[in-house]
Amino acid sequence: MSEKFIPALALTAGEPAGIGPDLCVQIAQQPLPCKLVVIADGDMLLQRARQLKLPLKLIDDAAIAPAQHQPGDLQFMHVPLAEPAVAGKLNSANARYVLATLQQAVTACQTGIVHGMVTAPVHKGVINDAGIHFSGHTEYLAELTQSAVVMMLAGGNMRVALATTHLPLRAVADAIIADDIESKLRIIRKDLITRFNIDEPRIAVAGLNPHAGESGHLGREEIDVIIPVLDKLRSEGMQLIGPLPADTLFSPALLKHFDCVFAMYHDQGLPVLKHASFGEGVNITLGLPIIRTSVDHGTALELAGTGRAHTGSLLAAIESAVHLARNQALLSDQAA
């Protein structure tokens, strides 16, 4: 790989009423370690820039030059809104616009126009209000690419991957299925090796129940499902530790020995990580045939158009995508 390799990334602007457009305008003012192409309605970006009192020069994607991002400029692919966006006010008429930006970004990755995609936050509720079933970016991108995926967040010197994602808590236990746990652990290990350049990943696995089931007295999912899967994969050489009680697993003394934690559900693993890294955490989708990273926060409608949105998580997501793209290019060169 050439030392001058500068990845190109697509950035979807997310929910048009939220802070996604603000973040796009704000990062346009900063130097970036990549070529960046925002996928959004161009008029909306200009309007939000005026609202934020920030300069913005839009460059149509047809004129994308082989040069690194220049502060103040923003290369973009235009996807039109159905109705004009108002900062802070959701409009279900624009739900299909949000999905269209994601589709455009995936296509750009698959056709080699860009090396990866970064996503600003979307609002699940307003998409569902439009009559479109949508449980999240992770699941939608899995459907678009016909992939088995794993949601992982990174930040605060830890990586946390999830066995289940956006489910009601009462549905989680039924979703802890041996084949699914095995598939996700294989995806995590593969991507830690091929995308993060970790030769022998060490993965800590959380139990589902308090005290990891307390030998079956507080639940049998560990005994009946999780432990048999771990034993099978350990016999193949995977370095898996657990199942461990989640209330002690995240102690610094233990975390320093692991490359990733595999949590059983969303609010088991992510509160700890977000406490350690909120505002600079990164959501990474493992298992996709493309690179995808995202912010670790929501649409923050109350901040849209105010200039008070912080760019830390988006910048971290961009830097993470650059790192993954460079690793991928390096491995490709080594295999050539």
Residues of the chain with pLDDT > 70, as a percent, come to: 96
Q: What is the pLDDT of residues 209-239, one digit of tens each?
A: 999 989 999 999 999 999 999 999 999 999 9
pLDDT for residue 277 is more than 90: no
The CATH architecture that domain 1-147+289-336 belongs to is 3-Layer(aba) Sandwich (3.40)
- CA distances 41 to 37, 38, 79, 160, 208, Å, are 12, 9, 5, 33, 43
**CA–CA gap between residue 206 and residue 269 (Å, rounded):** 9
| DSSP letter (8 states) at residue 292 | E
Tokens of 221: 């999912």
Contact 115, 290 (CB under 8 A): no
Q: What is the pLDDT of residue 329?
A: 83
C-alpha distances in Å from residue 275, one per residue of 148, 167, 215, 263, 269? 28, 21, 30, 16, 11
Residue 67 clears pLDDT 70, i.e. is over it: no
- pLDDT tens-digit readout, 16-27: 999 999 999 999
Question: In the sheet that 73-78 helps form, which strands lie side by side, from edge to edge?
Answer: 57-60, 73-78, 35-40, 8-12, 116-119, 292-295, 282-286, 150-155, 158-162, 260-263, 202-206, 239-244
Q: Is 125 helix (H, G, I), strand (E, B) or coil?
A: helix
User: 293 forms bridges with which residues in the sheet?
Assistant: 118, 284
pLDDT of residue 73: 87
What are the φ/ψ torsions at residue 205 (nearest 5 degrees)?
Answer: -110, 125
Say if residue 2's pLDDT is above 70.
no
Domain with CATH 3.40.718.10 in the chain: 1-147+289-336, 148-287
Neighbours of 99 (CB within 10 A): 19
CB-based contact 274:296 (threshold 8 Å): yes
Which letter does DSSP use for residue 296 in this model?
S
pLDDT in tens, 311-336: 999 999 999 999 999 998 887 767 66
CATH of 148-287, picked from 3.40.718.10, 3.40.50.720, 3.30.70.260, 1.20.1090.10, is 3.40.718.10
Over residues 141-150, the mean pLDDT reads 95
Calpha distance 101→137 (Å, rounded)? 12
